[in-house]
Amino acid sequence: MFEELLHAWDGEEVALRFDAASNAWMFVCVHSTVLGPGMGGVRLQRYATPHDALADGLRLAGAMTLKQAAADLPFGGGKAVLAVPDIPRGADRAALFSRYADLVNAMGGTYVTAADMNTGQADMDLVGERTAHVLGRSPERGGSGDPAPSTARGVFHGIVATARRRFGSSDLAGKRALVQGVGAVGFPLAEHLHEAGASVILADPNAERVSALAERLGGTLVAPVDVVGTECEIFAPCATGGILSAETIPKLRCSVVAGAANNQLAAEGADELVRDAGILYAPDFVINAGGVIHLAGYETLGWDEGKMASRLESIGDTLDEVFDAADRDGVTTDAAARRMARSRLDAAG
């Protein structure tokens, strides 16, 4: 069932377990350990098939390699997926994460786990009871807590840099910024954009949450199905990936795409379609690196808050390098960012 996916993958290692007690599949995908152990979050999600879950893990692990390299961190790329029939709660959830921790521990340090979609620091606290190969535990348990606010801060700095390149000014006052998904990252990002003077447009399936935020920020609501095609200067995808496709790109009515979602480009060639549409794209694995910077900096590199603030702000500087390289070499911004990441991998390898 999985052979075709694994043979086509360019990564190093996959550990899998069928967890009979929960009827869940566990996949731990280590794409690269060239720069250090593969580090990435564990995603807890329902999938149509285990095949889809593994494909998601393999793709996300590869993106994590690029993210860690672009951020110049001492980690490689990894990702874990727990494909569950239903999102567990209470004792069932605790038992599942204990067994997941045992799988991580059995990998001997080639993979370091953290939180991701539908997981958080409470889950990492449970994992930390059974393995040392975990980041993002609560401060009470010796961790650095939720990295989502750092991701949001880094994306904000990236938006400022991208706006400066596209519009000739860092001033966001009066710019319409559409935030798709106001969860753990999109929520604080919308606040940062509002504080910078942008006019925020918000979309999220959780009507109560998004309405309350829109009222507090004086923002505008748009239905999730109407996100593509809504007029704005800045589009910040902060939900699931694959938003930029051959179908959606011609419908976009924005000048900039710069958001936190992983794997925003749905297929090969989508980056060229974005460029040809006259839209400046901030590569997702560059602009959304604030979370891994937070985890690595606070928990392994000993940074203080001043150093962390400086490194998050430097995401904008990295994007400037990417934009310069894209212009110089006549390639897309995504291609330029990938070249940058791979040059660091080649130098280390």
Residues labelled as active-site residues:
79
What is the total residue count of the chain? Answer: 349
Q: How far apart are the first and last CA of the chain?
A: 32
CA distance 285 to 93: 30
Structure tokens at 164: 């400066």
345-153-238-146 Cα dihedral, nearest 10 degrees: 90
Helix 290-299 to helix 148-167 angle (10° resolution) is 130
CA distance 281 to 24: 37
Residue 181: CB partners within 8 Å, gap ≥ 6?
203, 204, 237, 238, 239, 240, 261
Q: Decide: 176 and 193 in contact? Cβ < 8 Å.
A: no
Question: Which of 27, 79, 18 has its CA nearest to residue 54?
Answer: 27
What is the DSSP code string of 41-75?
Answer: EEEEE--SSHHHHHHHHHHHHHHHHHHHHHTT-S-
